Amino acid sequence: MRAFDISIGVGNGYTSKQSKSGGSVGSDVLEKIIDTYPDLSPLWLITGKGDMIIDVDRVEEPVPDYGKSMDEILEYKIERIVKRQLQAFSDKLENFPTLEEISKEIQKNLKGA
């Protein structure tokens, strides 16, 4: 954990102490983690849901000049990731067979049995 603390620029033992005490991590530390590890999903980091690592094949988007709070920055990043994940899911659904196609395949298999 010491190497991780150093990599994100927090005091030695910070993450160990937070982990042992069940303490929360401040938005400033979350920002450091996201900046240091850009392939780490902010959604996963905050909620523990979804994939830990963002797909490396994603298209890099320019980072806007937020001029806003850390919460607004995280919200924007999470929204962007969720939209990308929903699009990927939608793309997969387009190739999924319809109930009619599944029914026809089952009937075909039953007739052959």
pLDDT digits (tens, 9 = 90+) for 18-56: 888 888 888 888 888 888 888 888 888 888 888 888 875
**Residue 60 confidence (pLDDT):** 57
Single-letter amino acid, residue 16: S
Q: Name the H helices within the chain.
A: 2-8, 14-21, 27-36, 42-47, 70-94, 99-112
